[in-house]
Structure 1
Amino acid sequence: MTQSLRDEAAIEPDAVSTATVTKQTQVIAIYGKGGIGKSFTLANLSYMMAQQGKRVLLIGCDPKSDTTSLLFGGRSCPTIIETSSKKKAAGEKVGIGDVCFIRDGVFAMELGGPEVGRGCGGRGIIHGFELLEKLGFHDWGFDYVLLDFLGDVVCGGFGLPIARDMCQKVIVVGSNDLQSLYVANNVCSAVDYFRKMGGNVGVAGMVINKDDGTGEAQAFAEAVGIPVLSAIPANEDIRRKSANYEIVGVPGGQWAPMFEELAKQVADAPPVRPTPLTHDALLNLFKGDAVGRGVVLQPATMEDMCASAGAAPRQSLEIIYEGV
Structure 2
Amino acid sequence: IGKSTTSQNTLAALAEMGQKILIVGCDPKADSTRLILHAKAQDTILSLAASAGSVEDLELEDVMKVGYQDIRCVESGGPEPGVGCAGRGVITSINFLEENGAYENIDYVSYDVLGDVVCGGFAMPIRENKAQEIYIVMSGEMMAMYAANNISKGILKYANSGGVRLGGLICNERQTDKELELAEALAKKLGTQLIYFVPRDNVVQHAELRRMTVLEYAPDSKQADHYR
TM-score between both structures, scaled by the size of structure 2: 0.89
SS of residue paired to 2:83: coil
Match of 1:172 in 2: 136
SS of residue in 2 equivalent to 1:240 = helix
Structure 1 residue 92: Cα displacement: 7.2
Match of 1:182 among 141, 146, 166: 146
Structure whose alpha-carbon radius of gyration is higher: 1
Residue 217 in structure 1 maps to residue 183 in structure 2: yes
CA contact (8 A) 2:49 2:58 kept: yes
Aligned-partner Cα distance in 1 for 2:56–2:86: 24
Q: Percent identity?
A: 32
- Paired positions, count: 222
Structure 2 distance, partners of 1:237, 1:252, is: 11
Deviation of the 1:64 alpha carbon = 0.5
Shift of 1:254: 2.9
Partner SS, residue 82 of structure 2: coil
Matching of residue 207 in structure 1 with residue 170 in structure 2: yes
* Alpha-carbon shift at residue 37 of structure 1 (Å): 0.7
| Shift, 1:118, TM fit | 2.0
Q: Give the CA RMSD over aligned residues.
A: 1.9
CA–CA separation in structure 2 for the residues paired with 1:243 and 1:208: 22
| 2:100 is the alignment partner of 1:132 | no
Residue 49 (structure 1) aligns with: 14
Conservation of the 8 A alpha-carbon contact between 1:211 and 1:232 = no
- Provide the rounded CA distance (Å) in 1 between the counterparts of 2:38 and 2:2: 16
User: 1:240-284, CA deviations, whole angstroms, 9 ceiling, x for partnerless residues?
Assistant: 333442311344333232122xxxxxxxxxxxxxxxxxxxxxxxx
Does residue 79 (structure 1) correspond to residue 32 (structure 2)? The answer is no
Q: Secondary structure at the match of 1:145?
A: strand
1:282 match: none
Q: Is the 8 A contact 2:136 2:168 kept in 1?
A: yes
Contact 1:51 1:105 in 2 (8 A): no
Q: 2:224 corresponds to which letter in structure 1? A: A
Cα offsets for 1:63-102 (capped at 9, x unmatched): 000111222224322111111222226x972112111111
Change (3 A) 1:181 1:93: same
The offset of 1:109, in angstroms, is 1.1
TM-score of the two chains, using structure 1 as the length reference: 0.64
- Correspondence for 1:66 among 23, 28, 31: 31
TM-superposed deviation, 1:53? 0.5
What SS is found at the alignment partner of 1:117?
Answer: coil
Aligned to 1:193: 157
**Unpaired runs of 5+ in structure 1?**
1-35, 261-324
Q: Where does the alignment leave 5 or more consecutive residues of structure 2 unmatched?
A: none
Match of 1:157 among 97, 121, 124: 121
- The structure whose residues are more often helix, as a share, is 2
